[in-house]
Amino acid sequence: MAKIAVVKEILNANDQVAAENRAAFAGAGVFVLNLMASPGAGKTSVILATAARLPQGVRPAVIEGDLASSIDADTVAARGIPVVQINTGGSCHLDAPMVRAALPHLRLDEIDLLLIENVGNLVCTADFALGADVAVVVASVPEGHDKPYKYPGMFAAADVVLLNKVDLLEVFEFDVAYFRRGLAMVNPDVPLFLVSCRTGDGLDAWVEWLLDKSRVVK
Amino acid sequence: MAKIAVVKEILNANDQVAAENRAAFAGAGVFVLNLMASPGAGKTSVILATAARLPQGVRPAVIEGDLASSIDADTVAARGIPVVQINTGGSCHLDAPMVRAALPHLRLDEIDLLLIENVGNLVCTADFALGADVAVVVASVPEGHDKPYKYPGMFAAADVVLLNKVDLLEVFEFDVAYFRRGLAMVNPDVPLFLVSCRTGDGLDAWVEWLLDKSRVVK
């Protein structure tokens, strides 16, 4: 009788580790965001604004990914939020092994929501799974309304998009409808939240969506 | 008598093509800029503002590098400037072979200044020589004053830095001294120009520096 070889899909090394991270997070009941954006779009501000709006009992932690420096990690730590700094040493993105290396520095059993801030890069970060539940792309008004057209891969990879700095829509003559059309071309059903971390605009709606998605509220 | 092998430094493939590009540009008397920045920092605006300030007889041309779309190339072409679009098809940076492939579409003997707009990426673009004479890094105020600390590789690779959107320094509480200190840490003597493509501020000084550097004025 002929034997039939069962061909198993071989995950690449990063995806394999990402799957292990995902299992570790799920096992500990931690919901995980991978925040990606251009440099200076406001990832750290979104993290702080999100953490500040979590209901009592939902415990956040942060992994900060940067080429160099601990500027953002220091900012997060100053708010009393557990944070681990990953310096990529030149690499343009976080990868799953880097996140795995950070895990021993976190008490997963004391965390409900883990916010991973990726390196500021609107291209490369989209290609490396970390094991997160939700890919959050933070765009910002000063970058211009054409970004979904120019960086389609990133916006296609998003599970949710935040457009930050909307208090400056008029200053930058930002056409929200044009941005929406570009986004819909590459990712038709992705939720979009218009927010301003400076004024607080739109952040409650974003956090409500996140909590509903994560079901971390106990 | 023993023979001594002369070991020639082997350039990597990209550097080899970059050297060929450089030779082609030099042979045709074309001065070449490689403009690098985060997405939305204002590379295209800097290109248009620079072209508009060139003296009579200095002929510009542009190569536009984008993952996708021809939005910027269309904008440049609408000003009557010769332009070639390179779509990288997902690659996060231009490389020397891409630029070489664009050259047959340009009349180098009818160009004095070639402005190459790289993909919006504050990390990867710094690692790939194109054959340009000057690496121009365009930072922008909305990105924040900490960028030289967080993206040291890019700022270290710059021959000149433009800080764009300086009409919004106060709106973003941007600390120019802090930015300068970070820049000086990674690139002590690099010239820095504070400009606003919206108001025109600082652009004459930048173009004066460029023309002096390039000696393209005939």
Share of chain B above pLDDT 90, in %: 92
∠ CA A58-A62-A65, rounded to 5°? 160
Q: Please determine, for residue B218, whether its predicted confidence score (pLDDT) is greater than 50.
A: no
Q: Examine residue A197 and state whether it is found in any structural domain, yes or no.
A: yes
- Name the average pLDDT for chain B: 94
The per-residue pLDDT for range B179-205, each reduced to its tens digit, is 999 999 999 999 999 999 999 999 999
Q: How far is CA B175 from the centre of its chain?
A: 24
* CB contacts < 8 A (A, B): 104
Q: Which of B127, B143, B149, B174 to mutate to test the interface with A (most CBs of A within 10 A)?
A: B143
Q: Which of B155, B159, B163, B173 lies closest to B195, judged by CA?
A: B163
Q: How many domains does chain B have?
A: 1
Averaged over B45-58, what is the pLDDT?
97
Strand (E) positions, A46-201?
Answer: 60-66, 83-87, 113-117, 134-140, 160-164, 192-194
Given a contact cutoff of 8 angstroms between Cβ atoms, the answer to whether B99 and B63 are in contact is yes
CA distances from B20 to A155, B13, B33, B46, B96 (A): 36, 11, 16, 27, 9
In a domain, B66, yes or no: yes
Interface contact B152-A67, CB threshold 8 A: yes
Which CATH number does the domain housing residue B54 bear? 3.40.50.300
Which residues in chain A are closer than 8 Å to B40, comparing Cβ atoms? 38, 140, 142-144, 147
Sheet strand arrangement including A31-37: A83-87, A60-66, A113-117, A31-37, A134-140, A160-164, A192-194
pLDDT, tens digit, for every residue of B111-123? 999 999 999 999 9
Q: Could you give the ipTM of this predicted complex?
A: 0.91
Instruction: Give the pLDDT confidence score for residue B159 in this predicted structure.
Output: 98
Half-sphere exposure at residue B212, Cβ-oriented, CA atoms within 13 angstroms: 6
Q: Rounded mean pLDDT of B31-53?
A: 98
User: Would residue A186 count as lying in a domain?
Assistant: yes
Chain A CB contacts of B147 under 8 Å are 39-40
Contact, B161 vs B139, CB < 8 A?
yes
Q: Which domain holds residue A132?
A: 29-213
Q: Which helix (H) or strand (E) holds B116?
A: strand B113-117
Q: Measured between beta carbons, which residues in chain B are less than 8 angstroms from residue A90?
A: 123, 153
How far apart CA B161 and CA A115 sit, in angstroms, is 33
Chain B residues touching residue A40 (CB < 8 angstroms): 38, 140, 142-144, 147
For an interface test with A, give the residue of B151, B166, B178, B196 to mutate (most A CBs within 10 A). Answer: B151
Average pLDDT over residues B135-162: 98
Chain B residues with at least one Cβ partner in A under 8 Å: 38-40, 66-69, 71-72, 90, 92, 119-124, 140, 142-144, 146-147, 149-153, 165, 168, 171
Domain for residue B195, yes or no? yes
3-class DSSP state for residue A64?
strand
The answer to whether position A19 is within a domain reads: no
Q: What pLDDT shows up at residue A68?
A: 92
Instruction: Encode chain A (218 residues) as per-residue pLDDT tens digits.
Output: 455 555 455 568 999 999 999 999 999 999 999 999 999 999 999 999 999 999 999 999 999 999 999 999 999 999 999 999 999 988 999 999 999 999 999 999 999 999 999 999 999 999 999 999 999 999 999 999 999 999 999 999 999 999 999 999 999 999 999 999 999 999 999 999 999 999 999 999 999 999 999 975 44
How far apart, in Å, are the Cα atoms of A160 and each of A62, A96, A192, A209, A211? Answer: 19, 20, 6, 10, 13
**Is B67's CB within 8 Å of A144's CB?**
no
Count the Cβ atoms, other than its own, within 10 Å of residue A107: 12
- Is the pLDDT at B217 greater than 50? The verdict is no
pTM for the model stands at 0.93
Give the gyration radius of chain B's Cα atoms: 18
pLDDT at residue A12 in the model: 83
Contacts of B143 in chain A (CB under 8 A): 38-40, 142
Range name among A64-68, B10-14, B174-178 with the lowest pLDDT average: B10-14
* Contact (CB, 8 A) for B203 and B49: yes
> Which three-class secondary structure state does DSSP give residue A3?
coil
Q: Is the pLDDT of residue B162 over 60?
A: yes
For residue B7, being part of any structural domain is answered with no
- pLDDT for B12 equals 82
Asked if residue B54 belongs to a domain, the reply is yes
* pLDDT computed for residue A215 by the predictor: 76
**Residue A150 to residue B120, Cβ atoms within 8 A:** yes
Helix (H, G, I), strand (E, B) or coil at A177: helix
Is A102 within a domain? yes
